[in-house]
Amino acid sequence: MTPAGFQPLDEFDYHRRLAAVDGLALVLFSSAACATCRQVERLLPAAAPAGAQLFMVDAQKSVALTRAFDLFHLPGLFLYRDGHYHARLDCQVTPAALRPAMAKALAEPAQEEP
């Protein structure tokens, strides 16, 4: 079950749905078996900028997609703008840490997905 505030994604709709997003999108790769993941799921809606769309990939169900993103440790948080990949965000999930990390990533051109 996807937590409130998140839209579920899997390997079958990941790229199509993100390509259609206008504005910011944060994609969380998570697992119900991961305590840190559950904590990030609780914190992210309040830490994300207003208007950012939140998506979640269940890493246990979407193994191929999780592997494609080279995720060996969960959670994994990825930033998109207007359907374009920008960066993996490796920071605390608080407004004070997340928003500057996003601003720094968005100041650079879009990148190729991992």
- pTM for the whole structure: 0.95
Instruction: Tell me which residue of 61, 66, 72 sits closest to 28, measured CA to CA.
Output: 66
Q: Round to whole Å and give the CA distance between 113 and 7.
A: 20
Phi, psi dihedral angles at 34 (to 5 degrees): -110, 115
Q: Are 65 and 14 in contact (CB under 8 A)?
A: yes
Q: How confident is the model at residue 3 (pLDDT cuts 50, 70, 90)?
A: confident
Q: Which domains does the chain have, with CATH numbers?
A: 7-106 (3.40.30.10)
Q: Round to whole Å and give the CA distance between 46 and 99.
A: 11
Model confidence over 43-92: pLDDT tens digits?
999 999 999 999 999 999 999 999 999 998 999 999 999 999 999 999 99
Helix segments in 2-94, DSSP class H:
14-19, 35-47, 63-68
